[in-house]
Chains A and B, each alone.
Chain A
Amino acid sequence: MPDSATELLERPADEGAGSEIAAAEPDELVAADLLVEEISIDGMCGVY
């Protein structure tokens, strides 16, 4: 996982996941974005 993603996970929930997003969305959407982050692992696990 890239360092930036790791840094995002390590942040407290009240810190931003991107100020450009915060400027574009209503406050509650931004807060929800901070509470839940989703990724798909398809394509990341080629060898078991």
Chain B
Amino acid sequence: MSISSPLADFDLDAAWRLHPQVSVRPERFGALLYHFGTRRLSFLKSPALLTVVRSLESEPSARSACSRAGIGASDLPAYTRALARLADSQMICGRSAA
């Protein structure tokens, strides 16, 4: 399995938002995200990750969105990589990039 470099470059201290072409459907396991532009689906398999994604718009940074969602320091690396994956697939984008 190859790991693309953008996953390691995610800026946790930048301002992010859900991409405007993405629709969110909450599910028991977390949520489904559908991107109408890329026609890709992402499964968020954690309700806390859904909380993070939803709060990105109103928080100054992804780090603060994680903090507000109750993500502890021990879980932050995994959530950072999850957000990086969502950024790499354009489910979330920099707030100035939309």
A→B interface (CB under 8 Å):
9-13, 21, 24-25, 28-29, 31-32, 34-42
Complex Cα distance, B49 from A45, in Å, reads: 28
B31-60 residues at the A interface, CB under 8 angstroms = 38-46, 49
Contact B3 A29 (CB under 8 A): yes
With A9-B29, A24-B1 in contact, do A36 and B39 touch (Cβ < 8 Å)? no
Q: Which residues of A contact B89 (CB under 8 A)?
A: 38
Complexed CA–CA distance, A29 and B77 (Å): 9
Q: Is B94 an interface residue (CB 8 A)?
A: no
B98 close to chain A: CB less than 8 A: no
CB pair A32–B78 under 8 Å, yes or no, is yes
- Are A38 and B85 in contact, with the CB atoms below 8 A? yes
- Contact partners of A12 in chain B: CB under 8 A: 29
- Contact check, A36 vs B43: say whether CB atoms are below 8 A apart: yes
| Candidates A11, A29, A42; contact of B39 at CB < 8 Å | A42
- Contact between chains at A37 and B1 (CB < 8 Å): no
